A = this chain, B = another copy of it.
Amino acid sequence: MPQGKPSYVPADGLTTRQRRNRPLVVVHTGPGKGKSTAAFGLALRAWNQGWPIGVFQFVKSAKWRIGEETAMRALDRVHRESGAGAPVAWHKMGEGWSWIQRSGTEQDHAADAREGWAQIKRDLAAETYGLYVLDEFTYPMKWGWIDVAEVIEALRTRPGRQHVIITGRDAAPALVDFADLVTEMGKVKHPMDQGQKGQRGIEW
């Protein structure tokens, strides 16, 4: 259970309230399960606070995140119909980010990822969302498609009160160093180790 008391109070010139409300960069990394699911659990808290949520899904799969996407879109509709909660925008890579329609079948994942990142930078500058879920965003950094230092700089200089969650294995050490809250999901045991394939409702 979380402890309410910080272990020390820094001499940073901030009031407790200012410090408490500082926007966070959160990283969920490591080989275990729960990195993205925990991000979407945080999104439920943000939704309840009325913070607009922007999900940027840096993966390409027909079924991945379908459960989260369907539920978050339902919560978006609840917001639009009743005013409760917050709006949720869901952007997907691979089948074309939601703000572009690319024709043809040739895929350029690196360009896709960079387009996604360019949009995130625009949204950060415009303070579009209160919470950003950058799902599997460690991979385009790991693969060299997106520059880690540029990401850190964009996050460091983002205006206002925008929380950002980045998920995925192998988060860059510089990003871990920069982030405010980092959890390493360690795999203790997984059914696939016992010969069980992923199943609906659990893996997606």
Interchain CB contact under 8 A, A187 and B183: yes
Residues of chain B lying within 8 A (CB to CB) of residue A77:
78
Interchain CB contact under 8 A, B188 and A46: no
Q: Which of A41-76 contact B (CB under 8 A)?
A: 41-42, 44-49, 51, 59, 66-68, 70-72, 74-75
Q: Which of A1-58 contact B (CB under 8 A)?
A: 1-10, 12, 16, 19-22, 24, 26-30, 32-42, 44-49, 51
State in angstroms the CA–CA spacing of A191 and B22 once bound together.
10
Q: Which residue of B is nearest A69, CB measured?
A: B48
Residues of chain B lying within 8 A (CB to CB) of residue A10:
194-195
Interchain CB contact under 8 A, A202 and B45: yes
Q: Does A185 interact with chain B (Cβ within 8 Å)?
A: yes
Q: Which residue of B is nearest A168, CB measured?
A: B1
Counting chain B CB atoms within 10 Å of each CB, the highest count among A49, A51, A203 belongs to A49
Interchain CB contact under 8 A, B41 and A196: no
User: Contacts A8-B195, A163-B201 given: A41-B37 contact, CB under 8 Å?
Assistant: yes
A sample of 9 cross-chain residue pairs with beta-carbon separation below 8 angstroms, ordered by A number, consists of A22-B191, A22-B196, A24-B202, A34-B35, A35-B38, A38-B41, A70-B85, A75-B75, A183-B186
10 tightest A-B CB contacts, nearest first: A37-B41, A45-B67, A34-B38, A48-B67, A182-B188, A38-B38, A44-B71, A49-B201, A40-B41, A184-B186
